[in-house]
């Protein structure tokens, strides 16, 4: 069993990783909004793909860290009554893994049809980011409830 300090350290590290993921999500949103006339379809596609692949790598790494000895285990040990929320968040992770596997922008292909690729990929990416934002909010709230709120009972 982990000590309270270990669990709080894990929680703090997880929140820092979430902050990094937030920067990558924001960069992707900004890049998706670039004006094609200003930057050109090939440059935009290249940049969107680069950031989407970065998001993919970071998200997969973060989910693995959370599930394998990360905050999820610590929450269940520290606050067993929150276990159902952990089950739901893990289920979200599986959905995200499946969605990442089929995101069109993350797969190499010819860039000859960059305009068409972007017009198809942009709404998909933005919808994915919106779902990820909601998941991140629920995860952050759970971490704060589990490790940052005082349970009282002392004194």
Rounded to whole angstroms, how far apart are CA atoms 130 and 149?
Answer: 27
pTM for this entry: 0.85
Q: What is the mean pLDDT of residues 70-75?
A: 89
Q: Look over the chain and give the mean of its residue pLDDT values, rounded to a whole number.
A: 86
pLDDT score at 21: 96
Residue 50 lies in a domain: yes
Contact 96, 59 (CB under 8 A): yes
CA torsion through residues 154, 77, 15, 89, sign? negative
Residue at 118 is within a domain: no
pLDDT exceeds 60 at position 59: yes
Is position 151 within any domain? Answer: no
Q: What is the pLDDT of residues 86-101, one digit of tens each?
A: 999 999 999 999 999 8
* Total residues belonging to the chain: 155
- In this structure, is residue 125 part of a structural domain? no
Alpha carbon distance 66, 54 (integer Å): 18
Give the residue-averaged pLDDT of 40-65.
91
79 domain-assigned? yes
Query: What φ, ψ does residue 109 adopt, rounded to 5°?
Result: -165, 175
Q: What is the number of domains present in the chain? A: 1
Which residues have C-beta within 8 Å of that of residue 83, sequence separation ≥ 6?
A: 75, 76
**Looking at the domain assignment, is residue 113 inside a domain?**
no
Residue-number span of the structural domain to which 90 is assigned: 4-104+133-146
Q: How many CB atoms lie within 10 A of CB 111?
A: 12
Percentage of the chain lying above the pLDDT 90 cut = 51
End-to-end CA distance of the chain: 25
The verdict on residue 140 lying in a domain is yes
Q: Is residue 8 part of a domain?
A: yes
């Amino acid at each position: 069993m982990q000590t309270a300090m270990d669990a709080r350290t894990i929680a703090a590290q997880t929140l820092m990783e979430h902050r990094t993921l937030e920067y990558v999500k924001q960069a992707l949103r900004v890049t998706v909004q670039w004006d094609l006339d200003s930057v050109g379809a090939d440059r935009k596609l290249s940049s969107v793909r680069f950031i989407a692949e970065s998001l993919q790598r970071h998200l997969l790494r973060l989910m693995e860290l959370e599930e394998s000895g990360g905050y999820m285990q610590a929450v269940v040990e520290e606050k067993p009554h929150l276990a159902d929320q952990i089950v739901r968040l893990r289920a979200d992770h599986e959905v995200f893994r499946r969605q990442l596997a089929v995101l069109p922008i993350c797969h190499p292909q010819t860039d000859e049809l960059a305009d068409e690729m972007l017009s198809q990929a942009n709404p998909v990416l933005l919808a994915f980011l919106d779902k990820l934002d909601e998941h991140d909010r629920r995860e952050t709230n759970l971490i704060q409830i589990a490790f940052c709120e005082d349970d009282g009972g002392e004194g």
